[in-house]
Amino acid sequence: MSDTPIKNTSGITIKDQYTPKDWPDSQFDEKLGTAGQYPFTRGVQDSMYRGRLWTMRQYAGFGSAKASNERYRLLLDRGTTGLSVAFDLPTQMGYDSDHIMATGEVGKVGVAISSIEDMEILLDQLPLDQISTSMTINSTAGILLALYIAVAKRRGISSDKLRGTIQNDLLKEYIARGTFIYPPKPSLKIITDIFEYCAEHVPLWNTISISGYHIREAGSTAAQELAFTLANGMTYVQAAVDKGLDVNSFTKRLSFFFNVHNDFFEEIAKFRAARRLWAKILKERFGVTDDKALRLRFHSQTAGSTLTAQQPLNNVPRVSLQALAAVLGGTQSLHTNSMDEALGLPTEAAATLALRTQQVIAFESGVTKSIDPLGGSYYVESLTDDLQAKAEAYIERIDSLGGVIACIESGFIQGEIQNAAYQFQMDLEKGKEVVVGVNKFTQEEEVKPETLKISEAVATEQIERLKAFKGRRDKGHVDTQIKQLQEAAKNEQNLLPHFVSCVENNVTLGEISECLRGVFGRHQERITL
């Protein structure tokens, strides 16, 4: 027996052993139940992976649309079952590749998309009516969705056949990531416009991926990731209800995106607690009655912040364990990071190995043979209860402070994350936390793998092609489209039909974003000391 209490990063004391006293049988039906039934602790489908495996996505996007398209086709050929698109910073921030603010960033951390021509190249030869495409995009999510719809339409594919997800989660941008453009109120308005438009025109599309991933990458604990993510979700639901949308309808197309960190059992318990708590929130706070609407479906990604540039081969077992935790936690979709991502963009070989990691878990490990194989574990169930309790306490605190937006404006949520990150760093420097190859088991000489480099020629070619695209347009026609968008924004109309019309008529992403900046203004982040 240990004399010194052991706590995880969420502050939960871990006992030496767990027994039936830690999770009495009387709680079994209420808290655990069966998979596919409220409160969904054991999973959102009744058969889970016995019926269908999770979607194996590999997040990719770099340089030109052509290069990214080649990577997507390679991944599909090697067995990935869904695409996941990374966009460069100018695209995320609403700037065309030829804008001064895009200098030095074109194609660097994702693919550069400014026009419908770029999107056609990106999606070339991809079967849009057969695959699911996830796009990690927020402030310009509606524009990228419009581009996707427009390209499909040109191929004769109806928007009601399209399946995929846009991240479209602006609240976490204000909290942890920073790729916001407009203030919170108009951002929420655009988000609910997307909910409304997709319900009618793109019914199979997940209209938002409420993301805890970036909250965790910023340094939060597992309990904070859970609490702040669900609190953000509640804010989106309330905004849609206030808009008059049917809560039993639009909530079916909400999805979540969670990090998978290093503490194996804590991560599994986090996912179980997330499902149970979200179902409870929707049922008790918002009056949702449809069981399908109560289900928390989530994509997961292994933790980029845990990858190390030192001894990068160590990232292979890290990612493997994180991926296994996601599967045992019941994920619907998974991206496994490549071993070289602490050094640069993933090479083809590293990306393939990351995909193979998922395939080994799916087809060789045996963990998919049983629905929720850890269900009923005294440790896992007790830890699930503890994480739920900590998350509920945070949500109550946020409510008492006026809600998520008030807590963002005051800096409360950001401060909690910063404090957790600082504490972890102090523990790392003191040796209380161990990172193999960094503060323990270090090596003098290390062999670093080759990394993918983005040539500066990519930006030059992209800018030249974009300028040629703009030069071929009817300027008067483009100006008319932008004027109509401006009037729609001023009059609080749904903006999605205007986005689609604009991109179909060769208005660029940057031009649409600049028009909306003129109407909504720019968000200025409050600095707290």
Tell me the C-alpha distance between 87 and 108, whole Å: 9
Give the percent of the chain with pLDDT over 90: 88
> How crowded is residue 311: how many other Cβ atoms within 10 Å of its Cβ?
16
Confidence of residue 31 (pLDDT cuts 50, 70, 90): confident
Cis peptide before 373 (omega within 30 of 0): no
User: Do 80 and 58 touch, CB atoms closer than 8 A?
Assistant: yes
Q: pLDDT tens, 155-187? A: 999 999 999 999 999 999 999 999 999 999 999
Enter the tokens of residue 331.
């994920």
pTM above 0.75, yes or no: yes
- Cα 414 to Cα 223, 256, 526: the distances in Å are 14, 20, 11
User: Do 523 and 174 touch, CB atoms closer than 8 A?
Assistant: yes
Q: Give the residues across from 55 on adjacent strands.
A: 333
Confidence of residue 448 (pLDDT cuts 50, 70, 90): confident
Q: Give the residues across from 211 on adjacent strands.
A: 257
Q: Does domain 6-53+76-83+131-428 correspond to CATH entry 3.40.190.10?
A: no
Q: Mean of the pLDDT values across residues 465-474? A: 96
Tell me the C-alpha distance between 495 and 501, whole Å: 10
Q: Mean of the pLDDT values across residues 406-425? A: 96
User: Do 43 and 392 touch, CB atoms closer than 8 A?
Assistant: no
Give the percent of the chain with pLDDT over 70: 98
Q: Mean of the pLDDT values across residues 374-378? A: 94
Enter the tokens of residue 246.
């049917």
Tell me the C-alpha distance between 122 and 116, whole Å: 10
In the chain, what are the helix, strand and coil shares in percent, each to the nearest 5?
A: 55, 10, 35
Check residue 37 and give its pLDDT: 95
Q: pLDDT tens, 113-161? A: 999 999 999 999 999 999 999 999 999 999 999 999 999 999 999 999 9
Q: Which helix (H) or strand (E) holds 466?
A: helix 456-471
